[in-house]
Amino acid sequence: AQKVTQAQTEISVVEKEDVTLDCVYETRDTTYYLFWYKQPPSGELVFLIRRNSFDEQNEISGRYSWNFQKSTSSFNFTITASQVVDSAVYFCALSEAGNAGNMLTFGGGTRLMVKP
Please give the DSSP secondary-structure letter assigned to residue 85: G
Nearest to 18 by CA among 69, 61, 64: 64
Q: Is 90 in the site for another protein (CB under 8 A)?
A: no
Q: Is 110 in the site for another protein (CB under 8 A)?
A: no
State in angstroms the smallest separation of the CB of 97 from another protein.
6
Distant-in-sequence, close-in-space partners of 100: CB < 8 Å, separation ≥ 6: none
Q: Give how many residues touch another protein by CB under 8 A.
A: 26
39 or 73: whose CB is closer to another protein? 39
Give the whole-angstrom CA distance, residue 53 versus residue 17. Answer: 30
Provide the binding-site residues for another protein, judged by CB under 8 A: 33, 35, 37, 42-47, 50, 52, 91, 95, 97-104, 106-109, 111
